[in-house]
Structure 1
Amino acid sequence: MTPTTKTRAALTTAALSACALTALTALTACSGSGAADGADKATSPSPTRQTSPAERLAQLMVTPAEVGGHAVEKPSGDYTFARSTHEVTVDKADCAPLAYAMHQLPLGAPQADLTRVVQGDTTDAPLTYVTLTAYGPGGAQSALAGLEKAVGACGAGFTAKSKNDSSTYTSVAAEQPTARAGDGTVAFKATTTVQGVTHTLHAEAVRAGDVMAVYFSVNGMAMLQNRPSDAEPAPAVVNAQNARLR
């Protein structure tokens, strides 16, 4: 990572603490009736509109009430590592899923994805990112398998680059998830060094049918202040979101 990373971490943290997410409302289907020319003609209701993958993810995203009242916010788009997987290059191709998971980018071949971030109890607490992704048949299972394979293949670390920044991870290791949930889970930790200070980052993914949730945590304030950090996804956030996927 470069000094640009530190600047982006500070600005992102400041931006996140300033905004609040508008509560998501449930989508309702429209109904209608046919013209009645006589008592003997039946009324035909209009077909119910299908919920799109993006709308479904919005309905599944965890709410502030479920995470202790903390804001569930849209991350600032001004200082993101990359806006799509096409903007990311990895020195070891097998490690690409890890780079995507740690930069809130969808894995595999998604139909839709949605990311929100939850701040901890204080402004210098780690941030927990939640990325929900919807897939077609078999897509979520394939994406989770690809992530698990990457964890096993990239123990020695890797470097990911975008037009905005560069991130080098010195090690990757599998670990136990916060809780076994859904139809499969994968969890890992990665270490990175910023200006000589080591930071440990944690991520985990949970698949429930054709939807996957990826959790990632980082302590941007610790990086800014050159303090070592070991940021784990908040269990309250992980457990609440997992419950909504069932």
Structure 2
Amino acid sequence: MKRSSGARLCATAALGALSLTLLTACSDEGSDDSKESTGSSSSSSAPAAKARTAAELEKLLLAQGDVKGYKVASADDTLPKSKSDVKADKAECAPLAYAMSGLAPGETEANASNTVTQDAAGTSSKAPKDVSEADIESAFKVDMTFVGLSSYDGDGAEKALKAVSDGVKACSGGFGIAAQGEKQKITKVAEGKASGTGDESVAFSVGSDMDGQGTATFNTEVVRVSNTVATYYTVNFANLETGKAAEIPTAVIEGQAAKLK
């Protein structure tokens, strides 16, 4: 992938938290032939707790220093602000599109999100004119994970996980997404190997058409901890050329799960 001189500015600004705008420029979502999904699947025997508010979820998101080697940033400028900004051309695929966008995969208004990016040390303080080609390559070789939290009344969290699991099967042949003014063609959806974190977890990968320049692959995992659901969607810009999917960092999943317990 050729990068113009403007990439120097983008790389410098993006080292702390690479933007979705940059991702869109390279193409968006993606797929893989990952192995089977599902982690632990259990139903809570205790009475369902009342859903947490969006403000409470904001406080439960990973913060700077919670996960060593990663930088945490607000998702205000990178992720869609509401479900109205994300449209799937098949209703059964909407929960997958939402999970990949840091939005609630189920029916709730309680939602919060941020980005957790692998720390690319040594270049974020450089002026644009001092950023070398090697610095730019390093900036693109980091994993960036979009983390979303949502909370539900009653059995809403269980229903959200089921909607994702059902969507993985129903949407295996692909679907279309329109988000923030950009259209994206998902060519394939496959079950993935879930981490087994929390009370229940589902993983999937998607193959994303790169405007006729091949297919990129991306992984997503959805984890339920009691009545709160966490979604993780990881990208690595350097991998866009290879089609190889970035793995969702275990440290990020475990760190976020620990804050939800």
Give the structure-2-normalised TM-score: 0.69
Q: CA deviation at 1:70?
A: 2.3
Unaligned runs of 5+ in 2: 1-6, 18-50, 121-138
Higher relative contact order (CA 8 A, sep 6+): 2
Change (3 A) 1:218 1:69: closer
- Please give the alpha-carbon distance, in whole angstroms, between the structure 1 residues aligned to 2:9 and 2:81: 17
Percentage of identical aligned residues: 32
Match of 2:252 among 229, 234, 237: 237
Q: Say if 2:155 is the partner of 1:138.
A: yes
Unaligned runs of 5+ in 1: 1-8, 20-50
Q: CA deviation at 1:237?
A: 0.6
Q: Which residue of 2 aligns with 1:219?
A: 236
Q: Which residue of 2 aligns with 1:185?
A: 201
**For each residue in 1:167-217, what CA deviation from the matched residue of structure 2 results, as whole angstroms up to 9, or x when unmatched?**
11111111111x212221110011112141321100001111111100111
Change (3 A) 1:227 1:13: farther
Q: Which residue of 2 aligns with 1:29?
A: none
1:183–1:207 Cα contact (<8 Å) kept: yes
Q: Which residue of 2 aligns with 1:92?
A: 90
Q: CA deviation at 1:13?
A: 6.8
Give the structure-1-normalised TM-score: 0.73
Alignment of 1:23-172 (within 5 A): 53-77=53-77, 80=79, 82-122=80-120, 123-124=139-140, 125-162=142-179, 164-172=181-189
Match of 1:173 among 164, 176, 190: 190
Change (3 A) 1:112 1:174: same
1:15–1:76 Cα contact (<8 Å) kept: no
Report the more deviating stretch, 86-95 or 202-211.
86-95
Number of positions where the alignment pairs a residue of Structure 1 with one of Structure 2? 203
- Please give the alpha-carbon distance, in whole angstroms, between the structure 2 residues aligned to 1:53 and 1:11: 37
Change (3 A) 1:208 1:163: closer
Change (3 A) 1:76 1:221: farther
SS at match of 1:230: coil
- Please give the alpha-carbon distance, in whole angstroms, between the structure 2 residues aligned to 1:10 and 1:58: 32
Q: Which residue of 2 aligns with 1:40?
A: none
2:101–2:146 Cα contact (<8 Å) kept: no
